Amino acid sequence: MAAIMTVLVTIVMWMTAIIGLIFLASVGAAIIAHQNGGSLDALNISVTDGTDSLPALIAGLIGGFVVIPAIIYVCIQLRRILATLAEGDPFVPENAVRLTRVAATIAVTQLLRIAVALVIRFSFDHTKVGLNFDLIAWASVAALFILSQVFREGTRLRDEEKMTI
């Protein structure tokens, strides 16, 4: 089962990287097109800005630079956890640290999302940016911090048991 999950996490990681690069290039081209009066022609590629909202494009670009690396980082941590599971010993101290890193990554991503929205809102006149509280993401952060503590305690108890004669 660990092997299947590792393959799935690897697929998610690479798909995020590929789609993320395409997204960042597209949004970057749209921003350049917007700044050039609505169109961009380079290397036989023509880009037409389909939106009048520069703040939305900038928010999308910044959001992509925040979210895409975060997803890849979380996938890398999950692959390392799954590697210990495949080896038959997931209760190692490193996995508690990895779960804490995943929780912190999700929390920082959520905080940056809010910060970007506020910066965009106050940087551009007449810009409406929705701010919402993602309860699922924050519940996931709490659950991951709890699981990291469970892994720490499980590791401690297992090590303590090994010392018992």
DSSP string, the chain: -HHHHHHHHHHHHHHHHHHHHHHHHHHHHHHHHHHTTSEEEETTEEEE---S-HHHHHHHHHHHHHHHHHHHHHHHHHHHHHHHHHTT----HHHHHHHHHHHHHHHHHHHHHHHHHHHHHHHSTT--------HHHHHHHHHHHHHHHHHHHHHHHHHHHHH--
Answer with the residue of higher pLDDT: 133 or 96.
Answer: 96
Phi, psi of 85 (to 5 degrees): -65, -40
* % of the chain exceeding 90 in pLDDT: 48
Residue 51 scores a pLDDT above 60 = no
Least confident range from 3-17, 31-45, 83-97: namely 31-45
Mean pLDDT for the stretch of residues 127-144: 85
Instruction: Give the model's pLDDT for residue 52.
Output: 55
Mean pLDDT for the stretch of residues 4-29: 91
pLDDT digits (tens, 9 = 90+) for 85-112: 999 888 889 999 999 999 999 999 999 9
Answer with the residue of higher pLDDT: 121 or 141.
Answer: 141
Mean pLDDT for the stretch of residues 10-30: 90
Phi, psi of 40 (to 5 degrees): -145, 130
Q: Are strands 45-48 and 39-42 parallel, antiparallel or unpaired?
A: antiparallel
Query: Mean pLDDT across the chain, nearest whole number?
Result: 85
Mean pLDDT for the stretch of residues 16-39: 82
Instruction: Give the model's pLDDT for residue 74.
Output: 97
Q: What is the domain extent for residue 28?
A: 2-163
How many domains, the chain?
Answer: 1
Residue 31 scores a pLDDT above 90 = no
Residue 40 scores a pLDDT above 70 = no
